[in-house]
Amino acid sequence: MAKPIKETPVLRGKDAQRFSEEVKANEKKKVTKAEYEKAMAAYEKLKKFNIL
């Protein structure tokens, strides 16, 4: 039998500020063409087996 999923905690204070800063920093990062192609190859492989 499955266990119930706990609620996601709300971030407050320094944790919330750090999380927000990390999100903003990651929004500006670009993915390299090699990384994109690797991810797409993995996606296509999973799609082939109807996992997605």
Global pTM value: 0.50
Given a cut of 90, is residue 52 above it in pLDDT? no
Residue 51's pLDDT band (boundaries 50, 70, 90)?
low
* Res 42: pLDDT: 93
Domain boundaries, the chain: 15-48
Which tokens go with 7? 């609620």
Task: Return the closest-CA partner of residue 11 out of 25, 21, 26.
Answer: 21
25 in Cβ contact with 19 (< 8 Å): no
- Tens-digit pLDDT profile for residues 9-47: 899 999 999 999 999 999 988 999 999 999 999 999 988
> What does the alpha-carbon distance between residue 26 and residue 36 come to, in Å, rounded to a whole number?
16
**What is the residue type of 31?**
V
For tokens 């905690």, what's the residue? Answer: 9
Spatial CA neighbour of 34 closest among 46, 26, 42: 42
